[in-house]
């Protein structure tokens, strides 16, 4: 049994291990970009790719890393023209739900 808090730890333990050790333990800790910048980049990629399920984790994390709700909304609005209207509308709906606006 895994000691990870990740709900997938028992189902896909190697995936969770790599996520925790490599992605969050190494990549997110590299000093070349701030966590705030990494959050903006990650949220932009999720919007562009239409990965709304992952926004549940990354939008609030972006707020924790210093991104404001207004900046996330602006990011979504800006990407409507580069990533497509449906992706932006889905992201805006998810953000509204997450931020209870």
CATH number reported for the structural domain that contains residue 84 in this entry: 1.20.1290.10
Backbone angles phi, psi at 51, to 5 degrees: -90, 70
- Token pair belonging to 79: 């990407």
pLDDT at 41 (0 to 100)? 98
Tell me whether residue 54 is in a domain: yes
pLDDT at 23 (0 to 100)? 95
Of 49, 22, 27, whose CA–CA distance to 39 is shortest? Answer: 27
pLDDT at 6 (0 to 100)? 86
**Per-residue confidence of the chain (101 residues) as pLDDT tens digits?**
556 788 899 999 999 999 999 999 999 999 999 999 999 999 999 999 999 999 999 999 999 999 999 999 999 999 999 999 999 999 999 999 999 87
Tell me whether residue 59 is in a domain: yes
């Amino acid at each position: 049994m895994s000691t990870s808090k990740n709900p997938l730890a028992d189902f896909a333990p190697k995936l969770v291990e790599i996520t925790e050790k490599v992605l969050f333990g190494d990549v997110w800790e590299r000093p070349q970009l701030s966590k705030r910048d990494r959050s903006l980049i990650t949220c932009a990629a999720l919007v562009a790719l239409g990965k709304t399920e992952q926004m549940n984790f990354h939008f609030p994390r972006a707020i924790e890393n210093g991104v404001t709700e207004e900046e996330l909304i602006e990011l979504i609005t800006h990407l409507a023209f580069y990533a497509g209207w449906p992706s932006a509308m889905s992201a805006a709906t998810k953000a509204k739900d997450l931020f209870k606006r």
